[in-house]
Structure 1
Amino acid sequence: MFFSLAILGTAIFYMRLTRTTELDQRMCPVSGPGGQFVLLVDKTDPLNFTQKQAFQAFLEQLITQRIPVGYLLSVFVLDNDYTATARPVFEECNPGDGTGKSEMNANLSHLKKRFEQGFREPMLRLADELEAKKSSRFSPIFEMLEMTAINGFRKQNVTGPHRLFIVSDMLHNTPEYSMYRGNFDFNRFHDSDYGRKVTADLSGVEVEIEYLLNTPKLQTRRNLKFWEDYFAAGGAHIVAVRPLEG
């Protein structure tokens, strides 16, 4: 009897050791993601050397420290033609790397390998793809924010917290509306046909902006106030603004 109990105990220990949380093909919990983070990266202008270092450090921190286990990360690119970048280039859940777990109830080496190979490394490899090689003619920020709302938050319909990270100079530039002309009057913009058409529905979304200070004379308090009003009109609110070094 004691021998049988010993075998049974060993089997239970092994099952706990090798058992991992059941995940779907995107490494999300089968019950659904606990929340969704969306990253929108502006690649309409090349980054200088310092900005590249700061951007890579931002990505590393976002991947390893900011995204909770079981949350879905959707990555979008802002480029010259928003119709060509309307869908995410990366969309996976953070499966967790085993932090906080014990060898008594988890296979820590398996969890670490799954995190590195399935989540962290693919995201870091995207860094080159997310960086521009030359300047673009247009910067359709409004339209890409609509794409993050439609093909990001709304399409996935994830319950739980929603957060949008934007890496950009926040200077929209299209034939219909250009902030390079000093157009920062949100009320006038919002009352226009174009403004009503491109205000994204981002209800309940928290927004963090990593400012690329490419044109400081235009990236003033007036520019930030415009975006505060823009997101408020769409049901979102800015919770953090940080200049990206360089």
Structure 2
Amino acid sequence: MAVRGRRAKGRQTQQIFIGVFCFAFFFAVVGAAGYYFFAREPGPDKATLCPAKGPKGHYVLLVDKTDPLSFTQKQAFSVLLNDLVRKRLPEGYLLSVFVLGEDFKATAEPLVELCNPGSGENSSKWTSNVDWARRDYEQKFIKPLMLQAEALQGSKPAQASPIFEMLQLVAINGFRRQGVKGERRLILISDMLHNNGSFSMYRAAPDYSSFADTDYGRKTRADLQGVEAELYYLINTPQFQTRRNQKFWEEYFDKSGARLVEVFPLGG
């Protein structure tokens, strides 16, 4: 009887141990599932590929297509665009692409706006599907942006080049609309020779202070507060694209709250 009692007691202890183990395992599974569905970081926005908490920074590309690019300028533009999209734009940053055309009302909205979702190269193969990340990076980010290369290039000279108006629209429909708190950078590719019925840089060497005091100067002032600007000069008419012209734009950006940090000539 004593042996049989000890065996029964042992089975009872074993059953209790198994029960406790199953109970603990159940709650561990439920806890892990709850963490996965409720505590994990939300995925990127499906339309823009931006982080759920919003873009970490904002780059705006504005390309002047009021004059056709020369062969050499096309090569330089292709390299510049590829470098910006594939190498320069940090992961989680938004890129807005605008075009400067003859009619600024027709080009007021960006052609495309996408965040760099990351190529998956720095992701752990244990926690991420690197192949899927790479596919999304190429198909949903790189491809749509590179398809804009042709739309950003003009085929014939335009009658007007409303640079001031487009900079206002970039400030409104680009930087202000998105309201990104991180780094804000404007990359501008243009000959920087504004030309319309109200003001033309082909008539006389511009002086910013005199221009800023005119009705048109006050009307077209842009709000680019906190923006760092890069200027890529399309050298088409060097006799007007002088140091005086560059100084005009340095003062323009300064008065707009921006800072002109780089100037690169694109000759040819």
TM-based fold match above 0.5 = yes
2:83 partner amino acid: Q
- Higher RCO, Cα 8 Å, sep 6+: 1
CA contact 1:72–1:92 (8 Å) conserved in 2: yes
CA contact 2:55–2:93 (8 Å) conserved in 1: yes
Partner in structure 2 of residue 22 of structure 1? 43
Partner in structure 1 of residue 54 of structure 2? 32
Structure 2 CA distance for aligned equivalents of residues 117 and 21 of structure 1: 21
Superposition misfits of 4+ residues, deviation over 4 angstroms: none
Q: Please tell me whether residue 212 in structure 1 is matched to residue 234 in structure 2.
A: yes
1:158 Cα deviation from its structure 2 partner: 1.2
| Larger mean Cα displacement after TM superposition, 141-150 or 235-244 | 235-244
Which string of whole-angstrom CA distances, capped at 9 and with x for unpartnered residues, describes residues 108-132 of structure 1? 1111111111111111111111100
From 41, 48, 70, give the equivalent of 2:63.
41
Identity score, percent: 53
Q: Please tell me whether residue 185 in structure 1 is matched to residue 212 in structure 2.
A: no
CA contact 1:20–1:107 (8 Å) conserved in 2: no
From 107, 113, 133, give the equivalent of 1:85.
107
CA contact 1:26–1:92 (8 Å) conserved in 2: yes
| Larger mean Cα displacement after TM superposition, 175-184 or 221-230 | 175-184
Structure 2 CA distance for aligned equivalents of residues 127 and 150 of structure 1: 23
* Gap runs ≥5 in structure 2: 1-21
1:20 Cα deviation from its structure 2 partner: 9.1
Which string of whole-angstrom CA distances, capped at 9 and with x for unpartnered residues, describes residues 127-163 of structure 1? 1111001110000000000000000000111111110
CA contact 2:205–2:240 (8 Å) conserved in 1: no
CA contact 1:37–1:71 (8 Å) conserved in 2: yes
Q: TM-score, with normalisation over the residues of structure 1?
A: 0.91
Q: How many residues align?
A: 234
Which string of whole-angstrom CA distances, capped at 9 and with x for unpartnered residues, describes residues 155-181 of structure 1? 111111110000100000011110011
Q: Which has the larger radius of gyration?
A: 2
Secondary structure at the residue paired with 1:207?
strand
Partner in structure 2 of residue 111 of structure 1? 133
CA contact 1:73–1:93 (8 Å) conserved in 2: yes
1:101 Cα deviation from its structure 2 partner: 2.2
Secondary structure at the residue paired with 2:154?
coil
CA contact 1:20–1:106 (8 Å) conserved in 2: no
Q: CA RMSD in A?
A: 1.9
| Larger mean Cα displacement after TM superposition, 95-104 or 175-184 | 95-104
Structure 1 CA distance for aligned equivalents of residues 112 and 143 of structure 2: 12
Structure 2 CA distance for aligned equivalents of residues 42 and 220 of structure 1: 18
Which string of whole-angstrom CA distances, capped at 9 and with x for unpartnered residues, describes residues 42-68 of structure 1? 000001111111101100000011111
| Larger mean Cα displacement after TM superposition, 222-231 or 96-105 | 96-105
Q: Please tell me whether residue 54 in structure 1 is matched to residue 76 in structure 2.
A: yes
Structure 2 CA distance for aligned equivalents of residues 141 and 99 of structure 1: 39
* Gap runs ≥5 in structure 1: none
Structure 2 CA distance for aligned equivalents of residues 201 and 133 of structure 1: 31
1:84 Cα deviation from its structure 2 partner: 0.6
Structure 2 CA distance for aligned equivalents of residues 245 and 214 of structure 1: 7
